[in-house]
Amino acid sequence: MAAPRYAVLILALVAAQAVSAAPVLAPSWRELGQHQKEILSPLADEWGELSAASRRKWVGIADRYDKLSTDEQARMQARMRDWARLQPAERQKAREGYLRLRDIPAEVRGNLNAEWERFQSLPPESRRDVVNAAQMRRPGAAISENDKQSNQ
């Protein structure tokens, strides 16, 4: 009598493990809830082209969105719009830059953030001067017209 119970218990455990081991699929745009669609709307046009991992990441962000402050929500929306506007090569460049920055120690990153804030607060002419000076120190580095215009 105990043997069938153990068999059922073992079968249930095996089934539960198989279900938990199944990969979590990233939802299609149609499968998103209305609130998720509203939050992720800047990514709507390219949703189907995103990797499953990226879609899961964005769904997680959408699920935490309401816990963000109003300023953080606005910043998140702006970043999604900016990301959606980037060309694939620009996205790859941004990913590579992120990976390089991630490896820098936190205290150095903090200094970089402060320097970036100072740079952003400069008038356009001064920013151009800073960019030109940096290019003079790195003669092998080239700067594109788009980069020059974005620093203005």
pTM here is 0.55
Q: What share of the chain is helix, strand, coil (3-state, %, to 5)?
A: 80, 0, 20
Asked whether residue 150 is assigned to any structural domain, the reply reads no
Domain count of the fold of the chain? 1
* Position 59 in a domain: yes
Does a structural domain hold residue 70?
A: yes
Q: Does 32 map to a domain?
A: yes
Given a cut of 90, is residue 15 above it in pLDDT?
no
> Does a structural domain hold residue 143?
no
| Residue 20 banded pLDDT, cuts 50, 70, 90 | very low
Token code pair at residue 68: 């963000």
Is 3 contained in some domain? no
* Domain with 35 in it: 23-103
